[in-house]
Amino acid sequence: MLFLKRFLGLFTGVVLLASTAAVAAPGPLDQARATVDAVMAILKESNLEKQVRRERLSATIRARFDFAEMSQRILALHWKNASDQQRDRFVALFSDLLERNYIGRIESYTNEKIDFVKERVQGNRAAVDTLIMTKSAEIPISYRMVQKGAEWMVYDVVIESVSFVNNYRSSYGEILKNEGFDGLLARMSEKLADLEKNGNNGKPTEP
Amino acid sequence: MKKIFLFLSLVLWLSAGTVFAADDEFVFEEDPFAEAEPASIADPLEPVNRGFFWFNDKLYVYLLKPVARGLRVIPEPARVSVSNFFSNLGTPVRVANNLFQLKIANTGSELARLLLNSTFGLAGLFDPASSWGLEKKEEDLGQTFGHYGAGTGFYLVLPVFGPSSLRDGIGRIGDYFIDPLPHALKQEELIGLSALDQENALSLDKDTYEGIRKHEIDPYLFVRDAYAQHREAKVKE
């Protein structure tokens, strides 16, 4: 009997522990907010060395974005037909490009208020709707996320109803059609080299 | 003119189903938040469009944007007011198109906005209606055509005006006739006003186009597909 009691005690203890852990794990909205806040904080730190800043931004974003899933969605059928090498190369190039792109976009809004409006969760997928409140307009940005363990990872960013994934799917699809997979990879690395050369820190250069 | 218009409308309706290239039948996995499959917009005039895109790019970089940057010496709140003022002037077109789509509540809301913002908002310089829960309901004739089933037709890059489509281009012309402003003003006054409107809007914009220009491997394709997606979402709204 004592054994049973102990066992039950242990059992409820474990269950309690598990459920508090589940309650404590932040939902997609909180996780997205933490990342956006962290990015903003780094962008606002003016005395950071450029290289350090880039690395920190990169680490913060990569911890929240699922570039492999994004790449699969963008390439769709082309992903299936690509070799492992091509896939890895694409994910590497694309994550670099998107990272810079995202930093560049979000950087223009460092002085604006970002409202985390709501999260919608269905199974292991979630949409987190945010609003950037500029003085003249409100810009809706929605993050699409997928749950991987305790983490919610972004696989698409939808700005004013324009989905990054869909946009790249169409425009890269056209390049794939005309120039093939290696052609696309070549153009992507060319673009990256170009951005590197022009001392890219996310800011659009003046022409 | 009328005949051409009718003919074009007919072509648009007939082509609604066919111009969209059937996209790869690829389902990733069930995803409740997936955006609807983007209807890739047909672009038979691509070489010409690319020409105009190039022209617009140069116009933007060397003329329109420098002027807009110059405008930034004016404090932002003043420029926001100018933007509100022009937005208020655009009400008749929005009212008409909300009505055409039988969006009665939105039509009423636009009329109420016109009334409130023209009076309490000091001739439209301010937008108190928004803070009272009456948000702007953007509708134009292109969206009205789309609402009734017209396809986009094909992609068009208009010189100066930028991305459009056969449907939305025709819509622009129609909206011009709906709008009372062109009838009340001389041609050169109208051009001056809309130039001011556009430059002011550019001065408020956060260098969106510069970002695209810099980061995309093919800005033309990126803008085209973003336009198609954006308009489709607008039509469905």
pLDDT by residue (tens digit) across A157-206? 998 888 989 999 989 999 999 999 999 999 999 999 988 887 644 444 44
The overall average pLDDT reported for chain A is 83
Chain A residues closer than 8 Å to B47 by CB: none
- Spell out which chain B residues touch chain A, with contact meaning CB-CB distance below 8 angstroms: 24, 26, 28, 31-35, 37-38, 40, 61-62, 65, 76-77, 79-80, 83, 204, 206-207, 210-211, 213-218, 221-222, 224-226, 228-230, 233-234
How far is CA B146 from each of CA B20, B167, B178, B197, rounded to the nearest angstrom?
14, 8, 18, 26
Q: Are B233 and A167 in contact (CB under 8 A)?
A: no
Nearest to A115 by CA among A98, A99, A134: A134
Is pTM beyond 0.90? Reply is no
Predicted confidence at residue B21, as pLDDT, reads 35
Listed by start position, the domains of chain A span 28-111+158-197
Chain B residues closer than 8 Å to A136 by CB: 76, 79-80, 83, 204
Cα(B78)–Cα(A4) distance, integer angstroms? 76
For B157, which DSSP code?
E
Does 1.10.10.640 match the CATH number of domain A28-111+158-197?
A: yes
Show Cβ contacts of residue A117 under 8 Å, excluding neighbours closer than 6 positions: A129, A130, A131
- Cβ contact B24–A158 (<8 Å): no
pLDDT by residue (tens digit) across B190-221? 999 999 999 999 999 888 899 899 889 999 99
Which residues of chain B fall below pLDDT 50?
A: 1-2, 5-8, 10-29
Q: Are B93 and B178 in contact (CB under 8 A)?
A: yes
pLDDT by residue (tens digit) across A3-33? 556 655 655 555 555 544 455 578 899 999 9
Predicted confidence at residue B159, as pLDDT, reads 94
Cα(A70)–Cα(A63) distance, integer angstroms? 14
| Closest chain B residue to A136, measured at CA | B80
- Cβ contact A170–B33 (<8 Å): no
* Number of CB pairs, chain A paired with chain B, less than 8 A apart: 108
Cα(B77)–Cα(B125) distance, integer angstroms? 10
For B126, which DSSP code?
S
